[in-house]
Protein backbone atom coordinates (compact mmCIF):
# COMPACT_ATOMS: atom_id res chain seq x y z
CA UNK A 1 0.00 0.00 0.00
CA UNK A 2 1.20 3.53 -0.66
CA UNK A 3 0.04 6.30 1.63
CA UNK A 4 -2.17 8.93 0.02
CA UNK A 5 -0.31 12.22 -0.08
CA UNK A 6 -0.74 13.69 -3.56
CA UNK A 7 -2.22 16.97 -2.31
CA UNK A 8 -4.66 18.48 0.11
CA UNK A 9 -2.71 17.43 3.19
CA UNK A 10 -2.13 14.00 4.72
CA UNK A 11 -5.26 11.85 4.62
CA UNK A 12 -5.03 10.33 8.08
CA UNK A 13 -5.94 10.88 11.68
CA UNK A 14 -4.26 9.46 14.79
CA UNK A 15 -5.76 6.01 14.37
CA UNK A 16 -6.40 5.69 10.70
CA UNK A 17 -4.39 6.08 7.49
CA UNK A 18 -5.69 6.16 3.94
CA UNK A 19 -3.56 4.42 1.33
CA UNK A 20 -3.61 3.53 -2.35
CA UNK A 21 -4.26 -0.19 -2.66
CA UNK A 22 -1.86 -2.48 -4.51
CA UNK A 23 -2.31 -6.04 -5.75
CA UNK A 24 -1.03 -7.61 -2.52
CA UNK A 25 -3.90 -5.95 -0.63
CA UNK A 26 -6.57 -7.70 -2.70
CA UNK A 27 -6.98 -10.81 -0.47
CA UNK A 28 -7.81 -8.42 2.41
CA UNK A 29 -10.16 -6.45 0.14
CA UNK A 30 -11.89 -9.73 -0.77
CA UNK A 31 -12.14 -10.68 2.91
CA UNK A 32 -13.82 -7.37 3.80
CA UNK A 33 -16.11 -7.58 0.75
CA UNK A 34 -17.32 -11.03 1.82
CA UNK A 35 -18.07 -9.83 5.36
CA UNK A 36 -19.67 -6.55 4.26
CA UNK A 37 -21.73 -8.09 1.41
CA UNK A 38 -22.51 -11.60 2.70
CA UNK A 39 -25.44 -12.13 0.32
CA UNK A 40 -23.91 -10.78 -2.90
CA UNK A 41 -23.60 -13.04 -5.94
CA UNK A 42 -19.86 -12.38 -6.03
CA UNK A 43 -19.41 -13.44 -2.39
CA UNK A 44 -21.20 -16.70 -3.15
CA UNK A 45 -18.69 -17.43 -5.91
CA UNK A 46 -15.92 -17.53 -3.28
CA UNK A 47 -12.95 -15.49 -2.11
CA UNK A 48 -10.81 -16.07 -5.22
CA UNK A 49 -13.64 -14.82 -7.45
CA UNK A 50 -13.95 -11.70 -5.30
CA UNK A 51 -10.17 -11.16 -5.38
CA UNK A 52 -10.17 -11.49 -9.19
CA UNK A 53 -13.07 -9.02 -9.47
CA UNK A 54 -11.12 -6.35 -7.60
CA UNK A 55 -7.93 -7.27 -9.45
CA UNK A 56 -9.73 -6.36 -12.68
CA UNK A 57 -10.88 -3.07 -11.17
CA UNK A 58 -7.30 -2.32 -10.04
CA UNK A 59 -5.40 -3.40 -13.17
CA UNK A 60 -7.97 -3.07 -15.97
CA UNK A 61 -8.08 -0.17 -18.47
CA UNK A 62 -9.85 2.18 -16.08
CA UNK A 63 -9.24 5.74 -14.93
CA UNK A 64 -9.76 4.88 -11.30
CA UNK A 65 -8.46 5.03 -7.78
CA UNK A 66 -8.44 2.27 -5.15
CA UNK A 67 -8.29 3.53 -1.58
CA UNK A 68 -7.73 1.53 1.56
CA UNK A 69 -8.29 2.55 5.19
CA UNK A 70 -5.69 1.06 7.52
CA UNK A 71 -5.85 0.88 11.31
CA UNK A 72 -3.00 -0.70 13.30
CA UNK A 73 -1.50 -2.07 10.10
CA UNK A 74 -4.74 -3.85 9.11
CA UNK A 75 -6.99 -2.99 6.20
CA UNK A 76 -10.40 -2.07 7.64
CA UNK A 77 -12.15 -0.56 4.62
CA UNK A 78 -11.82 0.23 0.93
CA UNK A 79 -13.29 2.32 -1.85
CA UNK A 80 -12.93 1.88 -5.63
CA UNK A 81 -13.94 4.95 -7.64
CA UNK A 82 -13.40 6.66 -10.98
CA UNK A 83 -14.32 5.92 -14.57
CA UNK A 84 -14.52 2.17 -15.17
CA UNK A 85 -14.37 0.60 -18.62
CA UNK A 86 -16.21 -2.70 -18.46
CA UNK A 87 -16.15 -3.21 -14.67
CA UNK A 88 -18.37 -6.28 -15.00
CA UNK A 89 -18.00 -7.23 -18.68
CA UNK A 90 -14.19 -7.15 -18.55
CA UNK A 91 -14.14 -9.20 -15.35
CA UNK A 92 -16.46 -11.84 -16.84
CA UNK A 93 -14.54 -11.96 -20.12
CA UNK A 94 -11.14 -12.20 -18.47
CA UNK A 95 -12.24 -14.83 -15.96
CA UNK A 96 -14.81 -16.82 -17.95
CA UNK A 97 -13.02 -20.17 -17.60
CA UNK A 98 -12.44 -19.66 -13.88
CA UNK A 99 -16.08 -18.64 -13.34
CA UNK A 100 -17.37 -21.58 -15.40
CA UNK A 101 -15.19 -23.93 -13.33
CA UNK A 102 -16.49 -22.41 -10.05
CA UNK A 103 -20.03 -23.11 -11.14
CA UNK A 104 -19.22 -26.60 -12.42
CA UNK A 105 -17.75 -27.68 -9.07
CA UNK A 106 -20.54 -25.93 -7.11
CA UNK A 107 -23.63 -26.61 -9.27
CA UNK A 108 -25.94 -25.58 -6.40
CA UNK A 109 -24.81 -22.00 -7.05
CA UNK A 110 -27.09 -21.97 -10.10
CA UNK A 111 -30.13 -22.42 -7.86
CA UNK A 112 -29.35 -19.06 -6.22
CA UNK A 113 -31.47 -16.35 -7.91
CA UNK A 114 -28.71 -13.73 -7.50
CA UNK A 115 -26.16 -15.96 -9.23
CA UNK A 116 -28.70 -16.90 -11.93
CA UNK A 117 -29.28 -13.20 -12.67
CA UNK A 118 -25.55 -12.55 -12.85
CA UNK A 119 -25.06 -15.64 -15.05
CA UNK A 120 -27.67 -14.34 -17.50
CA UNK A 121 -25.93 -10.98 -17.53
CA UNK A 122 -22.52 -12.66 -17.95
CA UNK A 123 -23.80 -14.76 -20.86
CA UNK A 124 -25.23 -11.63 -22.51
CA UNK A 125 -21.88 -9.87 -22.03
CA UNK A 126 -19.97 -12.77 -23.61
CA UNK A 127 -22.38 -12.99 -26.57
CA UNK A 128 -22.13 -9.25 -27.00
CA UNK A 129 -18.34 -9.12 -26.93
CA UNK A 130 -18.01 -12.21 -29.16
CA UNK A 131 -19.72 -10.15 -31.87
CA UNK A 132 -17.19 -7.34 -31.63
CA UNK A 133 -16.44 -4.39 -29.39
CA UNK A 134 -19.08 -3.52 -26.84
CA UNK A 135 -21.24 -0.79 -28.37
CA UNK A 136 -20.69 2.61 -26.87
CA UNK A 137 -23.67 4.04 -25.04
CA UNK A 138 -24.91 7.06 -26.93
CA UNK A 139 -27.75 8.33 -24.78
CA UNK A 140 -27.48 11.73 -23.14
CA UNK A 141 -27.65 10.12 -19.70
CA UNK A 142 -24.74 7.82 -20.56
CA UNK A 143 -22.57 10.65 -21.84
CA UNK A 144 -23.37 12.74 -18.77
CA UNK A 145 -22.39 9.76 -16.60
CA UNK A 146 -19.16 9.56 -18.57
CA UNK A 147 -18.06 12.92 -17.16
CA UNK A 148 -19.03 11.87 -13.68
CA UNK A 149 -16.81 10.08 -11.14
CA UNK A 150 -18.37 6.74 -10.16
CA UNK A 151 -18.15 4.96 -6.84
CA UNK A 152 -17.98 1.30 -7.80
CA UNK A 153 -17.62 -0.13 -4.30
CA UNK A 154 -17.18 1.07 -0.75
CA UNK A 155 -17.11 -1.18 2.29
CA UNK A 156 -15.91 -1.15 5.88
CA UNK A 157 -15.18 -4.26 7.96
CA UNK A 158 -18.35 -4.89 10.05
CA UNK A 159 -16.32 -4.66 13.28
CA UNK A 160 -15.18 -1.15 12.29
CA UNK A 161 -18.42 0.29 10.91
CA UNK A 162 -19.92 3.42 12.49
CA UNK A 163 -16.49 4.86 13.39
CA UNK A 164 -16.24 7.42 10.58
CA UNK A 165 -14.12 5.22 8.27
CA UNK A 166 -16.64 5.15 5.40
CA UNK A 167 -16.97 8.93 5.62
CA UNK A 168 -13.20 9.37 5.48
CA UNK A 169 -12.91 7.09 2.42
CA UNK A 170 -15.73 8.92 0.67
CA UNK A 171 -14.29 12.36 1.45
CA UNK A 172 -10.95 11.27 -0.01
CA UNK A 173 -12.66 9.89 -3.15
CA UNK A 174 -14.48 13.23 -3.52
CA UNK A 175 -11.25 15.18 -3.07
CA UNK A 176 -9.57 13.11 -5.79
CA UNK A 177 -12.59 13.49 -8.11
CA UNK A 178 -12.47 17.28 -7.69
CA UNK A 179 -8.71 17.31 -8.18
CA UNK A 180 -9.20 15.40 -11.47
CA UNK A 181 -11.75 17.97 -12.67
CA UNK A 182 -15.02 16.07 -12.12
CA UNK A 183 -18.01 18.08 -10.99
CA UNK A 184 -20.34 15.22 -10.14
CA UNK A 185 -20.31 11.69 -8.78
CA UNK A 186 -22.64 8.74 -9.20
CA UNK A 187 -23.19 5.30 -7.73
CA UNK A 188 -25.73 2.50 -7.62
CA UNK A 189 -26.96 1.00 -4.37
CA UNK A 190 -29.38 -1.87 -3.74
CA UNK A 191 -32.73 -0.22 -2.97
CA UNK A 192 -33.10 -2.34 0.18
CA UNK A 193 -29.64 -1.39 1.56
CA UNK A 194 -31.06 1.17 3.97
CA UNK A 195 -27.83 1.41 5.96
CA UNK A 196 -25.83 2.50 2.90
CA UNK A 197 -28.60 4.80 1.61
CA UNK A 198 -28.69 6.54 5.02
CA UNK A 199 -24.91 6.85 4.95
CA UNK A 200 -24.90 8.35 1.42
CA UNK A 201 -27.70 10.81 2.18
CA UNK A 202 -25.79 11.95 5.26
CA UNK A 203 -22.82 12.65 2.92
CA UNK A 204 -24.98 14.84 0.67
CA UNK A 205 -25.89 12.24 -1.99
CA UNK A 206 -29.39 12.36 -3.47
CA UNK A 207 -31.54 9.68 -5.09
CA UNK A 208 -31.65 10.09 -8.86
CA UNK A 209 -34.42 8.92 -11.13
CA UNK A 210 -35.41 9.56 -14.73
CA UNK A 211 -38.54 7.41 -14.88
CA UNK A 212 -40.21 8.12 -11.54
CA UNK A 213 -39.37 4.71 -10.09
CA UNK A 214 -36.12 4.81 -8.12
CA UNK A 215 -33.81 1.92 -9.07
CA UNK A 216 -30.85 2.70 -6.80
CA UNK A 217 -29.01 5.46 -8.69
CA UNK A 218 -27.57 8.22 -6.51
CA UNK A 219 -25.73 11.38 -7.46
CA UNK A 220 -23.76 14.10 -5.78
CA UNK A 221 -22.74 17.46 -7.21
CA UNK A 222 -19.22 18.45 -6.21
CA UNK A 223 -18.20 21.97 -5.32
CA UNK A 224 -14.89 23.41 -4.19
Ligand X SMILES: CC(C)(COP(=O)(O)OP(=O)(O)OC[C@H]1O[C@@H](n2cnc3c(N)ncnc32)[C@H](O)[C@@H]1OP(=O)(O)O)[C@@H](O)C(=O)NCCC(=O)NCCS
Which parts of this chain interact with ligand X (CB under 6 A)?
36-37, 154-156, 161-167, 189, 193, 195-196, 198-199, 202
95 versus 160: smaller Cβ distance to ligand X: 160
147 versus 202: smaller Cβ distance to ligand X: 202
Q: State in angstroms the smallest separation of the CB of 130 from ligand X.
A: 31
Q: State in angstroms the smallest separation of the CB of 94 from ligand X.
A: 23
Q: State in angstroms the smallest separation of the CB of 81 from ligand X.
A: 12
43 versus 89: smaller Cβ distance to ligand X: 43
58 versus 156: smaller Cβ distance to ligand X: 156
Q: State in angstroms the smallest separation of the CB of 188 from ligand X.
A: 7
Q: Which of 24, 18, 15 is nearest to 6 (CA)?
A: 18
96 versus 186: smaller Cβ distance to ligand X: 186
Q: State in angstroms the smallest separation of the CB of 192 from ligand X.
A: 11
Give 177-184 contacts, CB < 8 A, sequence gap 24+. 177/81, 177/149, 177/222, 178/222, 178/224, 179/6, 179/7, 179/8, 180/149, 182/147, 182/148, 182/149, 182/222, 183/147, 183/221, 183/222, 183/223, 184/147, 184/148, 184/149, 184/219, 184/220, 184/221, 184/222
Q: Which residues have a Cβ under 8 Å from the Cβ of 51 and sit 6 or more positions away?
A: 26, 27, 29, 30
Amino acid sequence: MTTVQDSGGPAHNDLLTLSRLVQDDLPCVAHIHMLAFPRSALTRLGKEAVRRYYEWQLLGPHDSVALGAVADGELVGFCFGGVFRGALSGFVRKNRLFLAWRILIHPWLVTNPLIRDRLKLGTRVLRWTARGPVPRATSRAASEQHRSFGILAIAVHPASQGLGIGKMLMQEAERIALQRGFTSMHLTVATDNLQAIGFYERQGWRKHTTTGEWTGQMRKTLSL
